[in-house]
Structure 1
């Protein structure tokens, strides 16, 4: 051991004798020395090269073997450094060779480009880059991208946790854990199956790829299929519906707990009797049954899977999904409802058989998805004329207001007020706002608005007011609305050309009877303040809870049985008449509580500003 380390161990040269030959390997005489405090691990931190250097300088190496090993280690390190230098030099040579080869390839490419330019003509400087940039800017975003779904937002419990916290849904989570221990329920995306549900087994419903429809791009069509057992149950169900006996519906559901149409019909009965919890659970069970039948390629998050609404067996999924999102929205889970709206629209975006576009703005604003809603309107406006619907026009202005786009929000709100003036007065009444004297005295928002608004458009406006008036009750929004109303009145008084244009367009568009998809939306939405008569519908059809207003070109798997002779209901009580109305067609001037908007895909709506 070197004297340097000996000094560190023993605190100085007091205990060291000059004659090293008298020291034995096992015994070192030390007298009157107090050791110094030190850290033993400091010995490991010393550099071996410095150690060898110190040993050479002092010339007092007690162990020659250690000195030789240290010198060998230092030599090895030097050899490694030399090897690394050689490798680095070889790498530099290889990189230089590669760069030269790449330069040769670039030269060949330049030669070919020059030859092509000689044949076709020399382009202007920067022309190719500008063309590429312009082409990328002109490529529109795929419409399906705006309808893609995030799986985490399909679960209602995730949103409830964010809103109310974990403790609020602790009891429900315990039920889910019990359900998971049962083990006979499948795990699905749309519905969290409950522990008290029976095992689904073979429900009789399956899904396959629809070979009867041509595919366009990456879009793929699917179709639900029923086996022989389910067909037998469905025919029996249709006979029960014609018999107008609610007890028979309950018997079918008890015998076949996953029969979809039976669950939907029974859900309506529970809803009318104000048992909303049971009504929602029956709809969830119906949706769970349909989801368990999904094809492996039927991915609901991609927005590229389609279902043909004309096919009778597909319509149950549309209707069940619509009713489910209404119940979810009733629980203040607006973000989940928005995802369900996107899913429902992605199944048939061209036809939108349930006119879900009329509810899309509500859930986007409630869920605070302002940026997504603006992007959706920009993507679909050119082909669907979204701003020609009152809910989309006013909703888009609100989104820009929340995003802080002041100029865009003001322009959009003024355009909405000019195009749909009949919205203002009912909206202020629902918000319990005292209307300004100037607004009340001006005929633009009163008599003139009523005279120039067709009945179909009036339904849309009334639906929007009663569904979305809560969005306008904030103080800053009402003050902003008041300012824009006065600006619009100034434009009206100055005989603005845009005001004349909107008045003429409003009188020509929205004419005729309500389209069937809007009527379906009204029936399923069940908003009591908005009603319509059967005569107001286009191509009126049968109104049944499990399949309201089937398309005129419907591809039916089941033929409707002949109803039995109707007895005289004059002697019947009101209770029996109430339940009978759930199963039979409605004739004459029977008012149906519900409401929804205008058919976005109607021929009148397709005509843009070409009139």
Structure 2
């Protein structure tokens, strides 16, 4: 204890006198105030050492007191919580009572509400909606490039400074352009206010000024002696004459000026989207823009060219989505997208979608008779099973089926991938010695080159090629040892020669649209026959041809075995690239019928000898001096007859 405390209890620092008697001495603490109050309590009792038992008792007492304090605190807390909960419950009950009371009063005044409607169960999507449904996000090529290559930091910085780009059409494809278009020349209208079979039909319309420009353009095209007429690019772009711009892109592609051609195609597509009707939504499967209407064809042709531009720029997913758009707006498939969509799916690696598509088209469009779908289906099946780590037996069977039906594809794939195999070369199955005319073989070779060159990169992958070459060798062994397989291959070869005798009209149109894009798409010329027609309106035209503005065209006479029989085969064998170049009679603006009669005056039908002479003259024109040969329509029927020169 400190001296301060001692002095506090003692009462001061006064000591007893030294000479006084100790018997009469009374200590100061005995007279202190605190001691007098409690005489029995010793203030220095805490200083005395205590025994162990006393210490333990003190500890137990302290622990008991601490426990009691804790219990008291817990009970107090519980009581407080209970009080709060009771208050909250009371308030909630009070609020709910008020609400119930107000609802009851309203029900008494206005009557009880009707029962809640049952939840609407969403209908399951049809197979068509799943396969041909359009994803808006995939219509933007910049999104796909950003996903593949990452963001362009410089472009983002420029966009932040300039602000947002001008969007052409928020309902569909978005193509940034540097200028805004004017609504002049072309418009899009809805043909019928009510839907027909659940679909809305639209058409592209020409105003009077555009019709005047278009007739002048047609007069230049049809009188041209070659595929490169003299056209003014600036004038076409200023007026946005889309047919003329597409014709100029063909010239630019032939001259290998690819950048300028691509920019013009993008401008045409952007303008066609700009003039679209507000209800014409590319993502809607119920809109129709029929190809049989003459003015609508430029939309289909421009989109097809743009699809090739996109896939050449590695935007395969966007190109595939636009292919679905063309299949939706005209289900008759006028430009043979069935020939291209499988290859775009392979490039975009949409393997499961391709498997489902081919299985659907087997029942609806005869996919088992199209070699491109069969081989692409087998390749897609290989990738799907590989991803699932399953058994490759199903993919092998699909590839064997394709090889038995179209064995000529196998050696062509070995050729384009720079591979050789002696067993393949010596096998009779892959030599394809069926009886075909020269013209049919030329067309068949064009189809083979078209498919194999377009998909060569996918077959060239190491794992794919190992699987493909192994199955090709197995197929040679089965063919040599199994008579049933030999019989099946030979039987289908005769059927194949029948339906390949003539290319479908849709395929011919497709090739005419891309005839000058050979080097751009395939790095080589693959089409032996060059039909000399304009790609903005490729022939042959549909049977139901709707020409609302009475534009006059002269169709090109193509030399094939169906046009002239055996003599056509002879001419095609001598000059595979032969095309009859017509001298076109175009319509005057004031009177259509009068101009036709003037030009056809004194001309009539001719005998086969005259036709023979005309063919010979055209053949000489291809390989020798120029000779004029005209084609004129007859008013009695839809046939086209040769008209010989007067001299």
Q: Does 1:290 align with 2:272?
A: yes
- CA-CA distance at 1:388 after TM superposition: 1.7
Q: Does 1:408 align with 2:394?
A: yes
Q: Does 1:372 align with 2:353?
A: yes
**Residues 454-489 of structure 1: per-residue CA shift (max 9 Å, x gap):** 645444323211221221112221221122112222
Q: 1:189 aligned to 172, 176, 185, which one?
A: 172
**Residues 56-85 of structure 1: per-residue CA shift (max 9 Å, x gap):** 99xxxxxxxxx9xx9999656436557889
Q: Does 1:525 align with 2:505?
A: no
Of residues 139-148 and 331-340 in structure 1, the stretch that sits farther from structure 2 once superposed is: 139-148
Return the alpha-carbon distance in structure 1 between the equivalents of residues 192 and 75 of structure 2.
90
Is the contact between residue 354 and residue 520 of structure 1 (CA under 8 Å) also seen in structure 2? yes
TM-score (norm. length: structure 1): 0.65
Aligned position for 2:408: 422
Is the contact between residue 166 and residue 177 of structure 2 (CA under 8 Å) also seen in structure 1? no
Q: Does 1:393 align with 2:374?
A: yes
Is the contact between residue 440 and residue 446 of structure 1 (CA under 8 Å) also seen in structure 2? yes
SS at match of 1:421: coil
Aligned position for 2:86: 78
Q: Does 1:434 align with 2:404?
A: no
Q: Does 1:161 align with 2:146?
A: yes
Is the contact between residue 291 and residue 334 of structure 2 (CA under 8 Å) also seen in structure 1? yes
Q: Could you say if the C-alpha distance between residues 231 and 483 of structure 1 is closer, same or farther in structure 2, counting changes exceeding 3 Å?
A: same
Aligned position for 2:574: none
Is the contact between residue 390 and residue 420 of structure 1 (CA under 8 Å) also seen in structure 2? yes
Q: Could you say if the C-alpha distance between residues 52 and 356 of structure 1 is closer, same or farther in structure 2, counting changes exceeding 3 Å?
A: same
Return the alpha-carbon distance in structure 1 between the equivalents of residues 427 and 379 of structure 2.
25
- CA-CA distance at 1:184 after TM superposition: 9.2
Pairing of 1:500-519 with structure 2 (within 5 A): 500-509=487-496, 510-519=499-508
**Residues 415-454 of structure 1: per-residue CA shift (max 9 Å, x gap):** 111111101112101111122x222222111153686996
RMSD: 4.0
Aligned position for 1:236: 216
Is the contact between residue 319 and residue 546 of structure 1 (CA under 8 Å) also seen in structure 2? yes
Aligned position for 1:332: 314
SS at match of 1:222: strand
Aligned position for 1:544: 534
**Residues 536-585 of structure 1: per-residue CA shift (max 9 Å, x gap):** xxxxx97113211132431113444589xxxxxxxxxxxxxxxxx99989
Q: Could you say if the C-alpha distance between residues 554 and 172 of structure 1 is closer, same or farther in structure 2, counting changes exceeding 3 Å?
A: farther
Is the contact between residue 169 and residue 273 of structure 2 (CA under 8 Å) also seen in structure 1? no
Pairing of 1:61-100 with structure 2 (within 5 A): 75=83, 77-78=85-86, 80-81=88-89
Q: Could you say if the C-alpha distance between residues 444 and 52 of structure 1 is closer, same or farther in structure 2, counting changes exceeding 3 Å?
A: closer
Aligned position for 1:35: none
Return the alpha-carbon distance in structure 2 between the equivalents of residues 55 and 449 of structure 1.
100
Return the alpha-carbon distance in structure 1 between the equivalents of residues 349 and 274 of structure 2.
31
Q: Does 1:301 align with 2:283?
A: yes
Q: 1:476 aligned to 452, 460, 463, which one?
A: 463
- CA-CA distance at 1:232 after TM superposition: 2.4
Pairing of 1:219-368 with structure 2 (within 5 A): 219-242=199-222, 244=224, 246-250=229-233, 252-256=235-239, 258-349=240-331, 351-368=332-349
Return the alpha-carbon distance in structure 2 between the equivalents of residues 178 and 263 of structure 1.
32
**Residues 195-247 of structure 1: per-residue CA shift (max 9 Å, x gap):** 2x3x312133222223399822x333221222223222222322332454844
Q: Could you say if the C-alpha distance between residues 492 and 83 of structure 1 is closer, same or farther in structure 2, counting changes exceeding 3 Å?
A: same
Gaps of 5+ in 1: 1-49, 58-66, 89-135, 535-540, 564-580, 592-611
Q: Could you say if the C-alpha distance between residues 87 and 182 of structure 1 is closer, same or farther in structure 2, counting changes exceeding 3 Å?
A: closer
Return the alpha-carbon distance in structure 2 between the equivalents of residues 514 and 430 of structure 1.
23
Is the contact between residue 318 and residue 344 of structure 1 (CA under 8 Å) also seen in structure 2? yes
Is the contact between residue 287 and residue 321 of structure 1 (CA under 8 Å) also seen in structure 2? yes
- CA-CA distance at 1:321 after TM superposition: 0.1
- CA-CA distance at 1:308 after TM superposition: 1.2
Q: Could you say if the C-alpha distance between residues 316 and 447 of structure 1 is closer, same or farther in structure 2, counting changes exceeding 3 Å?
A: closer
- CA-CA distance at 1:498 after TM superposition: 4.9
**Residues 285-316 of structure 1: per-residue CA shift (max 9 Å, x gap):** 11111111222222211322222111001101
- In the alignment of these two chains, the number of paired residues is 452
Q: Could you say if the C-alpha distance between residues 309 and 77 of structure 1 is closer, same or farther in structure 2, counting changes exceeding 3 Å?
A: closer
- CA-CA distance at 1:387 after TM superposition: 2.9
Is the contact between residue 545 and residue 582 of structure 1 (CA under 8 Å) also seen in structure 2? no
Return the alpha-carbon distance in structure 2 between the equivalents of residues 193 and 501 of structure 1.
54
TM-score (norm. length: structure 2): 0.62
Is the contact between residue 280 and residue 287 of structure 2 (CA under 8 Å) also seen in structure 1? yes
Q: Could you say if the C-alpha distance between residues 343 and 185 of structure 1 is closer, same or farther in structure 2, counting changes exceeding 3 Å?
A: closer
Q: Could you say if the C-alpha distance between residues 71 and 428 of structure 1 is closer, same or farther in structure 2, counting changes exceeding 3 Å?
A: closer
Find the structure with the greater CA-based Rg.
2
- CA-CA distance at 1:491 after TM superposition: 2.4
Is the contact between residue 240 and residue 249 of structure 1 (CA under 8 Å) also seen in structure 2? no
Is the contact between residue 280 and residue 327 of structure 1 (CA under 8 Å) also seen in structure 2? yes
Higher relative contact order (CA 8 A, sep 6+): 1
Return the alpha-carbon distance in structure 1 between the equivalents of residues 553 and 381 of structure 2.
54
Is the contact between residue 192 and residue 200 of structure 2 (CA under 8 Å) also seen in structure 1? no
Return the alpha-carbon distance in structure 2 between the equivalents of residues 397 and 542 of structure 1.
37
Q: 2:134 aligned to 130, 141, 149, which one?
A: 149
